[in-house]
Amino acid sequence: MFKFESYASAATTIILVILIVIGTAVTAFAEEPNCNSHDNAVSFFGREFGETPRWRGLIADGSAVIEAWLNEETGSWTLTATNAANLTCVISQGMYGELLEAAEIPAKGDPT
């Protein structure tokens, strides 16, 4: 088990791990076999899984757009990253996802 000397070093380690995971996913576009043009991705996720993009955001350095796709009936979901060349790669996929309504998201500081 890891022992950190301070909360700051633990937080720094966690942030570095997260950045490495995101950086690996975003920079490995050409190496990933699960990549295609964004237009093909839209068609594929809709046809194969009935998923539609439900959320998107630009990553901090502006090099890619992250999208969350969801089929509300089956709960299947896919997380993708699309680079400036319009190449979309699958980061992760799963089941039992659900779209949260704003009222279901706890307010900042609310422990529930």
pLDDT in tens, 5-42: 544 444 455 554 454 555 554 444 445 568 999 999 99
| Residue 59 neighbours by CB distance under 10 Å | 14
**Mean pLDDT value of segment 88-101:** 87
pLDDT at 58: 93
**Which stretches does DSSP call E strand in 38-112?**
52-58, 64-70, 77-83, 87-94
| pLDDT at residue 111 in the model | 65
Residue 4 pLDDT? 42
Confidence (pLDDT) at 80: 94
pTM listed for this prediction: 0.61
DSSP, collapsed to helix, strand or coil, labels residue 10 as helix
C-alpha separations of 71 from 13, 40, 45, 99, 103 in Å: 35, 18, 9, 9, 20
The pair of three-digit structure tokens given for residue 15, joined into one six-digit string: 């942030």
- pLDDT reading at 50 higher than 70: yes
Place of tokens 């890619």: 64
Q: Which two tokens stand for residue 24?
A: 């690996």
Q: What confidence category does residue 105 fall into, taking pLDDT thresholds of 50, 70 and 90?
A: low
Dihedral angle sign, alpha carbons of residues 33, 26, 70, 93 = positive
The arithmetic mean of pLDDT across residues 57-78, rounded, is 92
